Structure 1
Amino acid sequence: MIAAAVYQMAARALFAPFGGIGALRRRAVDSLELRPGAKILELGCGPGDMTAELLRRGAVVHAVDSSAAMLRVATERAPHAVFTHTDIRSYQPSTEFDATLAAFVLHEIAPSEIPRVVRMAAASLAPRGRLVILDHAIPGGVDGALWRAVLYLVESSSIDAWLALDLHRVLRNSGLVVLGDQPLAGGRARMMIARQAGTSE
């Protein structure tokens, strides 16, 4: 994982022409339809930008990240959250959550390991709970080729495999129903919203 300051600069630069990464994060938080006191699991919290936003909205946040450096920044930014220093691939929650949020983190792990993480997230959801995934995508046309080249420069080596992953299938196989699959930032990001099968909205 790159240093927290470098990560923040890269994230801001990538999406600055499309309203900024903060706007994407707020869209993801909006999609959770939070009520005061809702328990939220944030996978891959990074430097805590979204953690702080969740707290501002009245959520009780449990945030997980594998980087001690990122967590130091996140703890300063969102001191009232509960942080766990561990890899999301091995994390096992001890409680249920009203929603789980994974923003710009799943592309960093091997596709073969993503189903296990999604199953964990699904199993931790309370009835009617939501899983929201926000991550990179590729727009169509010439812009797509250019954006792919940019992602190769600033993201992990697993980005190509992430872009080819059938996330709908992963969600279905984890017992989830897809409620929405929304392109954002002109197709450069993608937000998927899912809930447990057999529960009504």
Structure 2
Amino acid sequence: MTAWRGQLKIDQIFAMENFSKPERIDWLKQEANHYLKKMEASQGDVLAERSGPVLSAANLEQFFRHKERSEKICQILQYLLSFMTHIPENDEIGDEPVNPAEQFREFVRYEADLLLEEDVKNAIFQETNHKEQFAGGNVWDYQERIISMNNELQKQVAQGKNNAVATISSLCQVLEQLCRFWFEVRRHDIRRTRRGDIFLYTLARIVQSRCRQTEKS
């Protein structure tokens, strides 16, 4: 990904038009799969790094919180990669024990609700308070924005319950908005932006486009 660094904003660097060719799509899927495997393999390493003779309750809680969040990102990426190949429709899902659109909804809802977690809010406040253009009221400005954004995203997460394709498309829009928010928080600095957010953003945008094509066909 370092080859595309420049002065453009992240959402411009990873714009849809940059992935119009099949070879670009293949490259993106390969990179996302590689990132996914690294995330899955790193879970045990994190615990090993933090483990001492006695693992404190605080460290244990932190580990499991990090593990749960990482697993949710992995699950969302897995679904997005699957949707890149095929968008399931209502008649395909039928009486399957797991409805992919509804399970995807729960994973995305989890991501939206992370905005309300204290450690996540603190991370946002720390990032934004480093911006020169913000004054002391910055924390309260973002507090209101976070609450408002979460409310709006949760409304959007609940949409499209009777149509699998529409549900997936709407949920991808939620992911896109979340990623844009994090890009802004990190000032569109690609060196400080999580690779996972870049993959989520790019894949979600492409899946949205494929959902529109599926609905038209």
Is the radius of gyration larger for structure 1 or structure 2?
Answer: 2
Higher relative contact order (CA 8 A, sep 6+): 2
Q: Give TM-score, length-normalised by structure 1.
A: 0.27
Q: Give TM-score, length-normalised by structure 2.
A: 0.25
Write 1 or 2 for the structure with the bigger share of helix: 2
